[in-house]
Amino acid sequence: MSSTPHQMTTNCPTRSTTKRRPNPLSTQYLWDRISEDLGYNGSKRSECGNTSLPPDPLQKEVETLTAHWNLYINLGGFSVGLLVVPLLGSWSDFAGRRPVLIFPNLGLALQAVVYLVVMYLKLPVVYFLLGRLLGGLSGDFNAILAGCFAYVADTSDRRSRTFRVAILEACLGLSGMLASIIGGQWRQAQGYINPFWLVLATNLASALYTYLFVCESVSQVPTAKLFSTHHHKAVWHLYSTGGSSNESGGGFHRCKLWLYTLCFFLVVMVHFGVRDLYILYELSTPLCWGSELIGFGSAALNLGYLTSLLGLKIMQCCLEDSWVALVGLASNIIGLIVFSVADTTELMFTGYGLSFLFMTSTPVLRSKLSKLVDPSEQGALFASVACVESLCFLVGSGIFNSLYPATLHFMKGFPFLFAAIILLIPVGIIGTLQCLDQRRNHADSTVS
């Protein structure tokens, strides 16, 4: 579907290159530019990994500024996208999915152009914010994501939907894994500019592929208007009433919609809130990784998308979807705890290995939300889910990019530990809802 200057990956159904959020290349570029401006070259010092030396105040300044610029850039882009995504997503219920897969790709291509200009001319990093704002005005990656998952819901039945959604998530992970390895090696060999040219090319190719080859999955209404308050009202109606499928479900149905959305928000906020921190954590002492190791680390993280897909398929043979999600959350929590104390390369990769099922929870939650609404409301639903994802980035970036520099003085890995604690909330909600559903089904079967 799309590609951004943050990370090159590949997705379906448009066979393009896309980013799955945070940004190894742009984060490294920010680190290098800020280090250059401040005269810091700590990653090249022989004593970088020597923890017996006192902390370098210049390194802390670089870490803090990089985390803060990540925060500003993410906040700018996603706050704009928060207004645009529900407009595009709900509009796709009437105008079709294809426009929502084309227009954001063009916006992301424009964002890539701005990033390239910044790199060529060595402009201040504040201009990255301008690029993100342009991407946000087109709907950003979240609009493409909403169109993709609505497309999957349009073309799948209830029984196969969870696995189909997981396949789409795995496509993102596989492309992210390959892009992380290629991006790290390429950046080390030729710098940042050439990889970002590929980002621009793949965004344009993705838009062209969608226009030429992707079939429409909904009946189009020729008179559908893009700029209409109806689209935002449709999203509000969905959550205020529980949707059309809530006619006989009562308040419990609407409650489930809200609670599963809350779970999704917390899980995705943690996923994307900490991913910027992995790069900062690995660049600085005591790990002091270079771009090649960072590429392998990002690849190991993205490999979790594939192992999660395989694990989900196996576990679905003997477990309900909710229990599958709980197993995935347990894997995520354990991995984060290991990250919080990782002070060697081996321990860091152990954390990546223990997180091998961390992505089984999000496809389950997407599928559960999709099954709670009518087919005619899938676009509005996934638009709202995309808005939740935008909010995840706003809140996740704000919390974790601020928490990281604030806790460097007493526990560098504290944000990872904090993220593990947050994930205990969706564990409790999903487990409780599953037990209540089992009791209701048992009571219904007894009555019948």
- Looking at this protein, which amino acid is placed at residue 315? M
Query: Does residue 360 register a pLDDT over 70?
Result: yes
Query: Does residue 8 register a pLDDT over 50?
Result: no
Contact predicate 268/400, CB 8 Å: no
Q: Tokens 């985390």 map to which residue?
A: 67
Q: How far apart are CA 226 and CA 414, in angstroms?
A: 44
User: What is the C-alpha radius of gyration for the chain, rounded to an integer number of angstroms?
Assistant: 22
pLDDT value for 339:
95
Domain boundary assignment for the chain: 10-40+56-215+249-441
pLDDT value for 305:
87
Q: How far apart are CA 400 and CA 416, in angstroms?
A: 9
More confident site: 149 or 291: 149
Query: Does residue 142 register a pLDDT over 90?
Result: no
- Looking at this protein, which amino acid is placed at residue 435? C
241 alpha-carbon distance from chain centroid? 28
Contact predicate 139/81, CB 8 Å: yes
- Quick one: average pLDDT of 71-90? 82
Q: How far apart are CA 264 and CA 272, in angstroms?
A: 12
Q: How many CB atoms lie within 10 A of CB 33?
A: 21
pTM of the model: 0.75
Q: How confident is the model at residue 109 (pLDDT cuts 50, 70, 90)?
A: very high
Q: How confident is the model at residue 411 (pLDDT cuts 50, 70, 90)?
A: very high
More confident site: 160 or 14: 160
Q: Give the E-state strand segments of 182-246 in sequence order.
A: none
Q: Which residues fall within 8 angstroms of residue 285, CB to CB, at 6 or more apart? A: 42, 48, 49, 50, 51, 55, 56, 59
Query: Does residue 61 register a pLDDT over 90?
Result: no
What are the φ and ψ backbone dihedral angles of 11, each rounded to 5 degrees? Answer: -140, 175
What are the Cα distances from residue 3, in Å, to 24, 90, 108, 314? 14, 23, 7, 31
What are the φ and ψ backbone dihedral angles of 139, each rounded to 5 degrees? Answer: 105, -15
Q: Is 1.20.1250.20 the CATH number for 10-40+56-215+249-441?
A: yes
Q: How far apart are CA 264 and CA 274, in angstroms?
A: 16
- Quick one: average pLDDT of 368-378? 84
Q: How far apart are CA 340 and CA 134, in angstroms?
A: 35
Tokens found for residue 106: 């063009």
Q: Tokens 């040219």 map to which residue?
A: 197
Task: Using the Cα atoms of residue 398, residue 232, residue 220 and residue 373 in order, give the sign of their dihedral.
Answer: positive
pLDDT value for 331:
97
